[in-house]
């Protein structure tokens, strides 16, 4: 077991985005799938999966809602500028 490597990298800080596999695992643990969330919200079955790779705020909100967190928790890099703008107002 000297060469043990953890299967996924857990974000080391609140400034690092979750790995897509971690998002999928968290959804699965709560009984959801990306396709199920997409269809339940009127999107094509593959739509939510696209939000894992690029910004799609509406689907990010759906995914985050299914996990009980804000989208900025999962994708801080996508929301960093918005938080900075609000803080400066």
Categorize the per-residue pLDDT at 89 as very low, low, confident or very high, splitting at 50, 70 and 90: low
CB atoms within 10 A of CB 88: 6
Categorize the per-residue pLDDT at 80 as very low, low, confident or very high, splitting at 50, 70 and 90: confident
For residue 72, being part of any structural domain is answered with yes
For residue 10, being part of any structural domain is answered with no
**Dist CA 58 CA 88 (whole Å):** 25
User: Tens of pLDDT along 56-74?
Assistant: 999 999 999 999 999 999 9
Q: Please name the residue that has the structure tokens 């107002």.
A: 89
Domain with residue 42: its CATH number is: 1.10.260.40
For residue 2, being part of any structural domain is answered with no
User: Tens of pLDDT along 43-54?
Assistant: 999 999 999 999
User: Percentage of the chain surpassing pLDDT 90?
Assistant: 72
Residue 21, token pair as written in the block: 């596999």
Domain count, the chain: 1
Total residue count of the chain as it appears in this document: 89
Domain containing 62: what range?
20-88
Four-point Cα dihedral 75, 71, 5, 50, nearest 10: -70
To 5 degrees, how large is the angle CA 64–CA 11–CA 30? 35
Res 34 pLDDT > 90: yes
| Per-residue CA distances from 13 to 2, 9, 18, 43, 65 (Å) | 26, 11, 10, 32, 21
For residue 31, being part of any structural domain is answered with yes
For residue 6, being part of any structural domain is answered with no
User: Tens of pLDDT along 5-23?
Assistant: 444 454 556 789 999 999 9
For residue 79, being part of any structural domain is answered with yes
For residue 7, being part of any structural domain is answered with no
């Amino acid at each position: 077991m000297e060469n043990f490597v953890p299967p996924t990298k857990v974000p080391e800080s609140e400034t690092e985005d979750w790995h897509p596999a971690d998002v999928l695992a968290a959804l699965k643990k709560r009984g959801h799938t990306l396709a199920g969330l997409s269809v339940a919200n009127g999107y094509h079955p593959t739509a939510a999966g696209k939000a894992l790779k690029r910004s799609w705020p509406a689907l990010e909100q759906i995914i985050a809602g299914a996990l009980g967190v804000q989208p900025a928790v999962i994708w801080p890099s996508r929301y960093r500028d918005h938080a900075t703008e609000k803080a400066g107002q």
